[in-house]
Amino acid sequence: MTPMVVIYHSGFGHTEQVALCVVNGANRVAGVQAQAMSVVDVDWEVLAAAEAIVFGAPVYMGSVSATFKQFMDDSSRTWFAQGWQDKVAAGFVNSGALSGDKQVALQQLQTFAGQHGMLWVNFALQPSGTGPTDLNRLGSYSGLMTQADNEAPEHTPPQGDRDTAEAFGQHIAERTVRWQRGAK
């Protein structure tokens, strides 16, 4: 069994939609049991048991949201003991603008994983184009990027971003299984 947690914050539901797609994609992989967890209701024991933790945040003012940052700061207790060392890590960010300074927030997540001694997995998916049904339309490789318009989360991010998020979840899960198998 390969437990995986997608931990996220979502103030208005858009990043949550992405998180659920990442979970769905991960659960396509045999032996993987992925679950979504909100940072407003953290289960530290479940995180400790995970082989992989995927971090997801909306971009607020060019950074991960303050609520996600609070989770990062709260994880310092785990950091003291390096409790997440050698777990697989990956990240995604969702914003309103096409750029929206997402790269800054993604690098915050990558640095955060580094502080925990985790193994950051990048995202190898060639963009199929730049339209709303395309895969990796935002052309991100260091993690997943999605963009949501100012509409209800049922309608945005667009289908291409949701499909990309599923592919991302599957990609991380496959590499987690490979890493776990190699460690035995």
Sequence-ordered list of residues with C-beta below 8 angstroms from that of 65, at least 6 positions apart, any chain: 9, 11, 57, 58, 59
| Residue 140 is a binding residue for ligand FMN (CB under 6 A) | no
Comparing every residue's Cβ against ligand FMN, the nearest one is: 100
Rounded to a whole number of angstroms, the minimum distance from the CB of residue 93 to ligand FMN is 8
Q: Which residues pair with 119 in a beta bridge?
A: 88
What is the size of the binding site for ligand FMN (CB under 6 A)?
18
Q: Is 15 in the site for ligand FMN (CB under 6 A)?
A: yes
Choose the binding region for ligand FMN from 44-52, 97-105, 119-127, 165-173 (rule: CB under 6 A): 97-105
Q: In a 10 Å sphere around its CB, with 0-12 CB exposed, 13-18 middle and 19+ buried, how is residue 1 labelled?
A: exposed
In the list 27, 42, 78, 101, the residue contacting ligand FMN (rule: CB under 6 A) is 101
| Alpha-carbon dihedral angle through residues 14, 17, 22, 27, given to the nearest 10 degrees | 170
Chain positions contacting ligand FMN, by CB under 6 A: 10-15, 58-62, 94-97, 100-101, 148
